[in-house]
Structure 1
Amino acid sequence: MKKKTMVLLTWVLAFGAFASGCGSDNKTTGSSASSSSTGESSSADVASGASEKVYTDISELKDDYDIIIVGAGGAGMTAAIEAKEKGMNPVIFEKMPVAGGNTLKSSSGMNASETTFQKEEGIEDSNDKFYEETLEGGHGTNDKELLRYFVDNSAAAIDWLDSIDIKLNNLTITGGMSEKRTHRPEDGSAIGEYLVDGLFQNVKKNDIPLFVNADVTKINEKDGTVTGVSVTFNDETTKDITSKAVIVTTGGYGANSDIIEKYRPDLKGYVTTNQSGSTGDGIKMIEEVGGTTVDMDQIQIHPTVQQDKGVLIGEVVRGEGGILVSQEGTRFVNELDTRDKVSAAITALPEKSAYLIFDSGVKERAKAIEFYEQQGYVVEGKSIEALAEELDMPAENLEETLKTWNASVEAQDDTEFSRTTGMDNDLSKAPYYAIKIAPGIHYTMGGVKINKETQVLDKDGKAITGLYAAGEVTGGLHGENRIGGNSVGEIIVFGRQAGVQSAAFVEKEK
């Protein structure tokens, strides 16, 4: 049975969209299904990972490590690489059968300001502008200490990635931003596959053990100091592994309907873009050792989600010039306003859905569209009229909408909805395309409270000794609304910080 499963998954992964997996020599594959504490991995999540890779074999497990990292997404792998660079002996435990987490699903890019690549293109940006626009996007509710650290260290994070052969030198723009500061791979493709592959390669090169099907169920502590974790492996064996520090990078709770409905009953029944492992396990474990949470009711709805499978249609499509139209073929919103405002505008339509319209020029610039096309989400029309017919939409309305939009691009003045970004190219290059979208649960801004050193804080604001966290498991950075492109920036900036700070703590304890 396992052999048949492996063959099937290998075939599926060959046609998947995003890459996953990693490891070093003498490893075991991570493609078998694994149950987690709250639910099983779906085949769709496994298939979202492209080519099959291998992971550290259970026979190589040790009883003690300097630093234990819980979760093998972008933040966890980044932390492990930095900790190893500082001379530590880290290990990564991942409960899912493949590594990558929600990072694999990232599409648009990574926000950063005052970067080398911006300067090469003559883009005049500043950390202060990035700070103010993110604060405005979060309605002024962001944790200002975390936000300041985030923006001030964003350019260094881009340079760090470049130094380990992960180059993000193709720039675009996302909603709520006034400058091109969203960095993506050179060919304009979705960042998730590229970033996960690059981090995996560095984990492998640095001989960092990465165990999959390794479900951490408890953070162990003694007298207020973290001492390690309890982890249950695929064979259902549970072991206590000791360490001097633990970094939790388990992601958010966007796939846990119980938690979602507890804090936001109004979101019951919404489709989610999250991979099935995003169930809030890390938050629960941290609370059990005294950690506190913040902003748990702040759950982001992404405006452009394909509803059948909950697949995010990345902001890059709008950033490269796409527009949104109603079933009547007319625009109804500034497409690159913040996600909460665009989502609300779509929900207010009679159909509570809309169409993302773009041309072949956008398709050429936004490589992620190739995946959407492979999945059958993209409708094509050789002309605007033909596309309208495919969508059962008044052709005269859609033609007038595109005529007006193209004139606005030429004049650089959107008199209808005051859009000012993503207007470098008009929509005049046939054929034309559409993707039907509606809002879906995308990101959980809430999570455990940390300081800028990534130390987990208790209810009194004191750091729990030896416990660190980074990425979507944490709360506060984004406030009430996250800006597109900031989540990837967060996992790298704070993943690095967690690796550095935990290593410094362990070194001091030796």
Structure 2
Amino acid sequence: MANAFQTTPVSQLADQYDAIIVGSGGTGLSAAIQANELGLKVAVLEKNEELGGNTNRASSGMNAAETTVQLKNGVIDNVAEFYRETYKDGGKLNDKDMLGYFVYHSAPAISWLAEHGIKLDDITVTGGMSKKRTHRPASMAPIGGFLVKSLLNVVAQQNIPVFNQTKVTKLVKNADGQVAGVEVDANGTAKTISAKAVILATGGFGASKEYMKRYRPDLVDYKTTNQPGATGDGLELAEAIGAELMQMDLIQVHPTVQQDNPHVYLIGEAVRGEGAILVNAQGQRFVNELNTRKIVSNAITALPEHSAYLIFDQGIRDRAKAIEFYDKTGLVEHGDTVEDLAKTLNMDPATLQETVDTWNTAVKNHDDQAFNRTTGMDRGIEKPGFFAIHIAPAIHYTMGGLHINSKTEVLDGNGDVIEGLYAAGEVAGGLHGNNRVGGNSIAETIIFGRQAGMQVALWANRK
């Protein structure tokens, strides 16, 4: 997604920065921009060749409450409700201070992006939310690639150096026990760089077999939606200097992942948010499609085939642009009519037709008697053509990670702050409890990326 952006040659890596940001996803780029705008000399270090990390793969949107975008779309929301629903959806295991900071800084984060020319003017809904809180570009393009490209444009305008193929191998402490720099492998060359602070924005460990074996052996054989670099590097770096890990067994399995090919494709929640339903191999619904990811994933896994089909029509397809990409990639089955589609899927045409008819009646009456779904019911499945995507659950997100406070300061096993070390985004645990709501991870990257940038500026100015 970020091909046009020019990284800085590793030969230009300075010996000293005010702040080093490890990772070039949404969190790292937001932190770098915010810290730079507060007068710090910063550098972004990315181990992969491609920039953007897992953010590139995000497809639904960015949750926020009480935004002007919501009001323009006739949605009257309140932050307290956003808090309550996220807390409930996370099994009430969310860190309350982090969650409070998160919900109250969600609308300002949307405004901050807009001030940088990054406009998220359309809204949809994801599972576990009662209101349309999921902000996305008006083009309805997948949020991740759009965000990475847009943030990199800002980074380029501000002349912030981004070094790729530069892997941080060690965090360096000074005599006072404060983090004061990093050791790196810059495309084969070892170098030590000093800094007043380090921000870990390295993402989660959803692609690490080692961490899965350690914390969730039951998931070792699951496929993952994560990019191959999501191996928990930030956790290793911080753990080596005494940082505490928390809630590491809380790993989210995403319910709708196309995995019939060697490459695994996440089918974003926006497809269900715009009206798609899930059916089993017989063509029958079996769950409220917009319940939490945990509940929907468990319902699919409980089916004899451990897989299901997303069913939608052209009207829904027009509202979820990512489907064009899924179709080009060969993931979408087509039918001129519902019966045609059923035959393609080896289902009884009458059964699937009855399921769709029943659903359309539920939408019309806004009353889903079968599964009590109340959101993603703006349109039925009635506009030709008709489509299906075969899906099954896969490892998607790691809710656990480094123990931080709401200021993004990393804590040790005694609950004390490790001075000079900050972490934000998926590398940090605590915000989501035992289930992350769709649209909350992109919000987390911007909200806590900015917070890390601000807190590092406060720390650097004290030093």
TM-score (norm 1): 0.89
* 2:138 aligns with one of 186, 193, 198: 186
Separation (CA, whole Å) in 2 of partners of 1:126 and 1:192: 25
| Higher RCO (CA < 8 A, seq sep 6+) | 2
- Residue of structure 1 in register with 2:234 after alignment: 282
Separation (CA, whole Å) in 2 of partners of 1:230 and 1:212: 15
Q: Is the 2:402–2:428 contact (alpha carbons within 8 Å) kept by the matching residues of 1?
A: yes
Is 2:412 the partner of 1:445?
no
1:91-170 matches, cutoff 5 A: 91-170=43-122
- Residue of structure 1 in register with 2:443 after alignment: 489
Is 2:156 the partner of 1:229?
no
Separation (CA, whole Å) in 2 of partners of 1:306 and 1:436: 6
Separation (CA, whole Å) in 1 of partners of 2:345 and 2:67: 42
* 1:431 aligns with one of 360, 373, 385: 385
Segments of structure 1 that go 5 or more residues without pairing to the other structure are 1-18, 21-50
- Secondary structure at 2:453's aligned position in 1? helix
Is 2:257 the partner of 1:305?
yes
Is 2:304 the partner of 1:330?
no
Separation (CA, whole Å) in 1 of partners of 2:50 and 2:194: 24
Q: Is the 2:5–2:152 contact (alpha carbons within 8 Å) kept by the matching residues of 1?
A: no
Q: Which letter does structure 2 place at the counterpart of 1:233?
A: A
Separation (CA, whole Å) in 2 of partners of 1:433 and 1:53: 36
- Residue of structure 2 in register with 1:475 after alignment: 429
Segments of structure 2 that go 5 or more residues without pairing to the other structure are none
* 1:351 aligns with one of 305, 309, 323: 305
- Secondary structure at 1:430's aligned position in 2? coil
TM-score (norm 2): 0.99
1:35-114 matches, cutoff 5 A: 51-114=3-66
Is 2:420 the partner of 1:466?
yes
Q: Which letter does structure 2 place at the counterpart of 1:291?
A: A
List per-residue Cα deviations over 1:181-203 (Å, max 9, x = no partner): 00001111110111001100011
- Secondary structure at 2:447's aligned position in 1? helix
Q: Is the 2:366–2:374 contact (alpha carbons within 8 Å) kept by the matching residues of 1?
A: yes
Separation (CA, whole Å) in 1 of partners of 2:200 and 2:220: 28
Separation (CA, whole Å) in 2 of partners of 1:263 and 1:226: 27
Is 2:283 the partner of 1:318?
no
- Residue of structure 1 in register with 2:330 after alignment: 376
* 2:213 aligns with one of 261, 277, 290: 261
Q: Which letter does structure 1 place at the counterpart of 2:182?
A: V
Aligned length: 460
* 1:499 aligns with one of 434, 439, 453: 453
Moved over 6 A (4+): none
Is 2:303 the partner of 1:367?
no
Measured after TM superposition, the shift of residue 336 of structure 1 is 0.1
Separation (CA, whole Å) in 1 of partners of 2:216 and 2:241: 25
Separation (CA, whole Å) in 2 of partners of 1:495 and 1:137: 23
Separation (CA, whole Å) in 1 of partners of 2:198 and 2:101: 22
List per-residue Cα deviations over 1:341-361 (Å, max 9, x = no partner): 000000011100000000001
Q: Which letter does structure 2 place at the counterpart of 1:410?
A: K
Measured after TM superposition, the shift of residue 122 of structure 1 is 2.0
